[in-house]
Amino acid sequence: MNRPARVLCDWGGSRLRACLEREGSIVDRRVGPGIHRLGADSPAQALASVLAPWRSEQGLAVLLCGMAGSRDGLAEVPYVHAPATVEVWRRGGLQVRIGDLEATIAPGVEAENFAGAQDVMRGEETQIFGALALDARLAAANPLLVLPGTHCKWVRVEEGAIVRVQTYLTGELFDLLRRHSSLLRLGADSGTDEEGFEAGLRAGARGDLAASLFETRTAQLLAGRAAGWAQGFLSGLLIGAELASMLGQRALASEPLTLIGDPQLTARYRRALASYGIDAQALDGERCVLAGLRVLADVERRC
């Protein structure tokens, strides 16, 4: 008997990525605005617009993760508390009706960070449970996971449960400083220079981020560095400072380290980790989030 088609949605602050799946295969993809970029539309209106070409599918179900479950999303879904196993996470999913569609929204996870303060995530947990479903060896390894992005997450998993979450605003800081500060206004944007990135990593390792940031500008003023070199330096500086912070908290040890995310970004983090003599494997973030949404689809139906 054929299974009904379903839509797997990863809805972040910047972008909605929706995939139509039939019989376990992705047959179409659509992109829409993120939760923080909806304009005059409500979340339900934005979602309906993206899903419109697929509405003729019989029995269409929708699975969503990320900011869809935030206060600004379709419906606020409470965080589940660490230690969060996949069973706890599944049970925390919320089923809602959006017009004539049935949707399940994944919960985020709340946990202490490595310093003992409270931290949260929405969306990354779906990638994590997807990665664990794809690789049983990873689940058995009690890994430290790194999920680079706008808000980079460092996540400790023990016996299949998320137990620690540490957030770094590395990606958001890079975007804000690149677009709105004086650090990169001296020349045209010519991309990220790899030599500049390496210099930034070395500066970030010193651990004095506030003092090192201005080197992005002085290198252009006094050393004749190009804007691309400076952009690479800023990227390396922020990532290097992030790694120095984790090392300072003694959170990095000899256990397996796995990166999950966009291949270009995980490659940059692998390079940064290698400068500390730390090896890491990398998993594709989209593949993991789709696997996680399929795991969510097994949630027991709730009224």
Q: Residues 249-294: pLDDT tens digits?
A: 766 665 668 999 999 999 999 999 998 888 899 999 999 999 999 9
Residues 144-179 have pLDDT tens digits of 999 999 999 999 999 999 999 999 999 999 999 999
Question: Which of 124, 105, 91, 94 lies closest to 47, judged by CA?
Answer: 105
DSSP class per residue in the chain: -PPPPEEEEEE-SSEEEEEEEETTEEEEEEEEE-GGG-TTS-HHHHHHHHHGGGTTSTT-EEEEEEGGGSTTSSS--PPEESSB-HHHHHHT-EEEEETTEEEEE---EEEE-TTS-EEEESSHHHHHHHHHHH-HHHHHT--EEEE-SSSEEEEEEETTEEEEEEEE-HHHHHHHHHHHSSTT-SS------HHHHHHHHHHHTTS-HHHHTTHHHHHHHHS---HHHHHHHHHHHHHHHHHHHHHHTT---SS-EEEEE-HHHHHHHHHHHHTTT---EEEEHHHHHHHHHHHHTTSPP--
Give pLDDT, residue 250: 62
- pLDDT tens digit string along 277-288? 888 999 999 999
pLDDT confidence of residue 28:
97
The 3-state secondary structure of 212-240 reads HCCHHHHHHHHCCCCHHHHHHHHHHHHHH
The residue with greater pLDDT, 53 or 247, is 53
| Mean per-residue pLDDT, 104-127 | 97
- 302, with CB counted inside 10 A (0-12, 13-18, 19+), is exposed
User: What's the whole-number mean pLDDT along residues 20-28?
Assistant: 94
Mean pLDDT of 34-56: 93
The answer on pLDDT for 302 being more than 60 is no
When pLDDT is cut at 50, 70 and 90, the band that residue 12 belongs to is: very high
- Model confidence at 301, pLDDT cuts 50, 70, 90, reads very low
Q: Is the pLDDT of residue 300 over 50?
A: no
Q: Which of 92, 96, 115, 116 has its CA nearest to residue 104?
A: 96
What's the confidence (pLDDT) of residue 295?
A: 96
Q: Spell out the domain ranges in the chain.
A: 111-303
Res 24: pLDDT: 87
Residue type, 104: T
Quick one: fold of 111-303? Nucleotidyltransferase; domain 5 (3.30.420)
Q: What is the distance between the alpha carbons of residues 122 and 236, in angstroms, rounded to a whole number?
A: 26
pLDDT, averaged across the chain = 91
Confidence class for position 303, pLDDT limits 50, 70, 90: very low
Q: Residues of the chain with pLDDT > 90: what percent?
A: 77
